[in-house]
């Protein structure tokens, strides 16, 4: 039994069998150790390759999502008058409140399945009562970002 090592850590083992007892001694043992070292390198390279493929896939998803999110931020900016940073904050809050990914919320906003007013309304009070909301922006009860709250008439104490 010989260990397969990757970065000096065990990653598996090679079991060698021979027709005779103690068939792997001397030069045969040294050759088996070389095979085990090459096997460990192959295992490590395969793991690195898998990690790189996953990273490339994640980067592709991020690039595709970025365009959709930027468009959704533009819609919120145009429709509600919030800054792009506040628009992203509203998307993030809506995403968290509805347990959905930001890119999915952004895609639904672009597709018309979610209205800009729904994303802009992150506290649990329905419109038009939100304009009379007595919550303090940024408090535990009102989850509107402070900078967007005043733009929605939501800054009354």
pTM of the model: 0.49
Distance CA 7, CA 39 (A): 12
Distance CA 13, CA 39 (A): 9
What is the pLDDT, as a whole number, of residue 121?
Answer: 63
What is the pLDDT, as a whole number, of residue 126?
Answer: 39
What is the pLDDT, as a whole number, of residue 138?
Answer: 46
What are 9's strand-pairing partners?
A: 6
Distance CA 33, CA 132 (A): 77
Look up residue 38 and give its two tokens: 């090459």
What is the pLDDT, as a whole number, of residue 105?
Answer: 92
Residue 14: partners with Cβ closer than 8 Å, 6 or more residues away: 1, 2, 3, 4, 32, 35, 36, 39
Q: What are the chain's domains?
A: 2-120 (1.10.10.10)
What is the pLDDT, as a whole number, of residue 44?
Answer: 87
The tens place of each residue's pLDDT in the chain, 157 residues long, gives: 887 877 777 778 888 888 888 888 888 888 888 888 888 888 889 989 999 999 999 999 888 889 999 999 999 888 888 888 888 999 999 999 889 999 999 999 999 888 888 886 654 333 443 443 444 444 443 444 544 444 444 444 4
Enumerate the H helices of the chain as residue ranges: 27-80, 84-97, 102-111, 116-120, 146-149
Residue 81: partners with Cβ closer than 8 Å, 6 or more residues away: 151
Residue 27: closest CA among 19, 17, 35: 35
What are 96's strand-pairing partners?
A: none
């Amino acid at each position: 039994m010989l260990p397969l090592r990757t970065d000096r850590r065990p990653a598996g083992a090679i079991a060698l069998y021979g027709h005779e007892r103690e068939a792997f001694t001397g030069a045969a043992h040294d050759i088996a150790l070389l095979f085990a070292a090459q096997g460990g390198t192959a295992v490590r390279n395969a793991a690195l390759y898998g990690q790189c493929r996953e990273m490339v896939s994640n980067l592709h998803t991020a690039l595709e999502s970025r365009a959709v999110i930027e468009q959704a931020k533009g819609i919120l900016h145009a429709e509600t008058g919030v800054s792009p940073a506040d628009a992203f904050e509203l998307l993030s809050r809506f995403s968290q409140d509805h347990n959905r990914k930001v890119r999915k919320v952004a895609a639904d906003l672009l597709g018309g399945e979610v209205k800009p007013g729904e994303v802009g309304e992150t506290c649990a009070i329905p419109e038009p009562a939100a304009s009379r909301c007595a919550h303090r922006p940024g408090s535990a009860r009102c989850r509107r970002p402070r900078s967007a709250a005043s733009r929605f008439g939501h800054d009354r104490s």
